[in-house]
């Protein structure tokens, strides 16, 4: 099959059927945070966020004394006492919050994401760069915080330790992706197996080091309104996180679900590191 005969639309639409195939290697959800409460001291603007995990699936939160908001959440424990917590805002279904709650270091990293509306999702890449100075229509923002007090050690931090590495993320027996972490701004992915096999792109990224060989990695896709947020554990060689995206045909239709993959190290391009 030549590139001229490739059905690109069908490959892109296949992205919307990935949820089932992304769950086979997902770590189980945990209720270990149930009945616990934390005050997160944000480094940005010196704000505080109060979170109370009422049970294994519902929490309430507020920022600096504002009214409490109730959300449905999912949590995954990727290492002992290190949790990935995620929810989509009930009041704003195109916005989500993903938090690494690290009870070992008593630190947290919060990643807020927002999907675009239909109008903002459709401009071509040149127009988007001209208007927004960004490659993706998806917006994200990362901030660090101390748990029940200000950060002292600053364990969570931006990193380039993944740069140059080439990893295979296998989500199931039917779904696998190649990742090449090019530099501190971009990575390249390729679908090796699955309904979207053959798709590939280069997208903007963020890397945060959480601990030794443990990273929070997020990418925002350029073509579709999609953000992926995963923790990569290079000791256990697995990931845990979520994907959050708008429908390709109707960007106002939103999907969010937790994922997990087994990771295989293929090689490292040393001159990229």
Q: What is the pLDDT of residues 154-171, one digit of tens each?
A: 999 999 999 999 999 999
| pLDDT of 13 | 56
Q: What is the DSSP letter of 47?
A: -
- What does the buried/exposed string (b/e) look like for 109-137 if buried means 16 or more CB atoms within 10 Å of the residue's CB? bbbebbbbeeebbeeeeeebeeeeeebbb
Residue 186: name the closest of 263, 114, 272 by CA.
272
CA gap 195, 172 in Å, rounded: 12
Q: Which two tokens stand for residue 10?
A: 């069908």
Which residues of the chain, if any, have pLDDT below 50? 1-2
In sequence order, the β-bridge partners of residue 169 are 177, 263
Chain-centre distance of CA 145, in angstroms? 18
What the block records as the tokens of 190 is: 């390729």
Quick one: which of 82, 97, 75 has its CA closest to 26?
75
3-state secondary structure of 126: helix
pLDDT of residue 272: 55
Q: Give 127's contacts (C-beta < 8 A, 6+ positions apart).
A: none
In the block, residue with structure tokens 């005050």: 39
Closest CA to 215 of 233, 202, 201: 233
Cα 230 from Cα 111, distance rounded (Å) = 11
Q: Are 116 and 141 spatial neighbours (Cβ–Cβ below 8 Å)?
A: no
Query: Among candidates 196, 95, 105, 212, which has minimal Cα distance to 152?
Result: 105
């Amino acid at each position: 099959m030549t590139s001229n005969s490739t059905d690109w639309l069908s490959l892109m639409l296949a992205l919307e059927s990935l949820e089932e195939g992304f769950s086979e290697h997902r770590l189980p959800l945990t209720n270990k945070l149930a009945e616990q409460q934390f005050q997160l001291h944000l480094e940005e603007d010196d704000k505080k966020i109060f979170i109370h995990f009422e049970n294994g699936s519902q929490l309430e939160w507020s920022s600096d004394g504002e009214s409490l908001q109730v959300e449905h959440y999912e949590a995954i424990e990727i290492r002992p006492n290190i949790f990935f917590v995620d929810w989509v805002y009930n009041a704003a279904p195109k916005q989500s919050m993903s938090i690494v709650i690290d009870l070992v270091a008593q630190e947290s990293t919060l990643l807020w994401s927002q999907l675009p509306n239909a109008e903002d999702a459709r401009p071509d890449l040149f127009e988007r760069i001209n208007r927004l100075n960004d490659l993706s229509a998806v917006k994200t923002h990362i901030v660090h915080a101390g748990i029940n007090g200000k950060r002292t050690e600053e364990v969570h931090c931006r990193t380039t330790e993944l740069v140059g590495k080439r990893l295979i993320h296998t989500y199931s027996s039917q779904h696998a992706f190649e990742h090449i972490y090019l530099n501190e701004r971009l990575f390249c992915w390729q679908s090796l197996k699955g309904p979207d096999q053959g798709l590939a792109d280069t997208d903007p990224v963020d890397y945060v080091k959480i601990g030794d060989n443990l990273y929070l990695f997020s990418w925002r896709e350029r073509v579709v309104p999609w953000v992926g947020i995963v923790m990569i554990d290079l000791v256990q060689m697995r990931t845990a996180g979520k994907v959050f995206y708008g429908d390709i045909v109707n960007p106002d239709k939103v999907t969010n679900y937790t994922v997990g993959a087994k990771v295989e190290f293929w090689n490292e391009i040393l001159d990229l590191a």
